[in-house]
Amino acid sequence: MTAVLATAVLLLVAGCSSGDDKTPAGRTGSASAPAASSSGAVGSPSPTGPPAKGSVKVVSTLTEGLKSPWGVAALPEGDLLVASRDEGTITRVDVETGKKTQIGSVPGVSPGGEGGLLGLAVSPSFASDHQVYAYFTTASDNRIARMLYDDQKPADQQLGAPDTILRGIPKGSIHNGGRIAFGPDKMLYAGTGETGDGGLAQDKKSLGGKILRMTPDGQPVHGNPEADSIVYSWGHRNVQGLAWDSDKRLWAAEFGQNTWDELNLIEPGKNYGWPEVEGKGGKPGFVDPVAQWRTADASPSGIAYAEGSIWMASLRGERLWRIPLAGAEPSAQPQSFLNGKYGRLRTVLSAGGAKLWLVTSETDTRGTPEPGDDKILQLEVK
């Protein structure tokens, strides 16, 4: 990677970047713009990349009053499914009216700390199999299960019994990972955390601190780095964002510890360094991040790809980051939007073209909820 980008801050923040410190009471809506700087030369934007400077317009508030929202997945017709981390429920949100309908609870969810009902994904064959996938914390582990979704049944009774496709992902009070998504290859990917035990990230036999790739049935995929393993990449601290660009490259966002949060370009079988390296280390055998941020400015969660850029929701940073891409590298400095205006930002989801859904995260015990929290915002970006 030739360009590793960093935003400068006045204070180096110590401690876990997963948002352990509660945000200040109230929201300014006018937080000072980050003083962007680069640790490497950044040339003129590539003619094939998006503009160096983008824009974000909040078109509307789709819905309000969500409780600890975490994972979000779009149904084929566009409506959204939203997971409540702490309540273990899934709610359907009508994208035309904002109406919320609780479709059911996921049995076995054991919320606590950063664990609970986390990522959601809709089967790429949903039209025929009607399967919804969930990543969640139980009393003993993190696991992935799929459930039949029947919207003809009464509200709150529309989810079938969970069919567990993967169990045994390490759990902890912190760093449970949790993001799942189906890739362009129709395989299921999952970002996991190392539960605060950095050694798990470097242990190929552990499912902690990894990006996993599996069939919809939870089995290893032909073409994985090791034929009998679902481990796709390793050396991760706590992956919470997964997205693919227009050329089907996989990007992932993850928490750093004391210094650098990361955006990584994921390649199969590669080691992303944790806990030996945090941020750009330049050490042989480890892959450096494409972009990095001070932990106070990010604590990244969900990411999405739209209009030639990666869009990254930030918890502690309380802002939405835009990282314009020219191929596999940034074409310009990252740019932040909505600084402090909506509080902690958990999930961002592409809705096609220049449209994004953005989910706030003020009711996750680490925010400062205001009337209406938590919300889903409709954005127009470029």
Give the model confidence (pLDDT) of 249-302 as tens digits: 999 999 999 899 999 999 999 999 999 999 999 999 999 999 999 999 999 999
Q: Are 376 and 361 in contact (CB under 8 A)?
A: no
328: how many CB neighbours lie within 10 A of its CB?
A: 14
Least confident of 36-40, 180-184, 240-244: 36-40
Phi, psi values for residue 312, rounded to 5°? -125, 120
Q: How do residues 12-58 score in pLDDT, each as one tens digit?
A: 333 444 454 333 345 654 333 333 333 333 334 444 789 999 999 99
Q: How do residues 75-132 score in pLDDT, each as one tens digit?
A: 999 999 999 999 999 999 999 999 999 999 999 999 999 999 999 999 999 999 999 9
Residue 212 token pair: 């996993």
pLDDT at 34: 35
From the number of C-beta atoms within 10 Å of its C-beta (0-12, 13-18, 19+), residue 113 rates as middle
- Give the list of residues 6+ apart from residue 95 with CB closer than 8 angstroms, or none: 62, 78, 79, 80, 351
Please give the full DSSP string across 251-293, using - where no structure is assigned.
EEEE--SSSEEEEEEE-TT-B--TTT--S----TTSPPPSEEE
Q: Are 211 and 201 in contact (CB under 8 A)?
A: no
Judge if pTM exceeds 0.85: yes
DSSP 32: P
Helix (H, G, I), strand (E, B) or coil at 129: helix
Rounded Cα gap, residues 113 and 328, in angstroms: 35
Asked if pLDDT for residue 2 goes beyond 70, the answer is no
pLDDT at 48: 73
Rounded Cα gap, residues 109 and 84, in angstroms: 11
Q: How do residues 344-361 score in pLDDT, each as one tens digit?
A: 999 999 999 999 999 999
pLDDT at 98: 98
Cα dist from 65 to 85, 129, 375, whole Å: 14, 31, 6
Helix (H, G, I), strand (E, B) or coil at 127: helix
Q: Taking residues 300-325, what's their average pLDDT?
A: 98
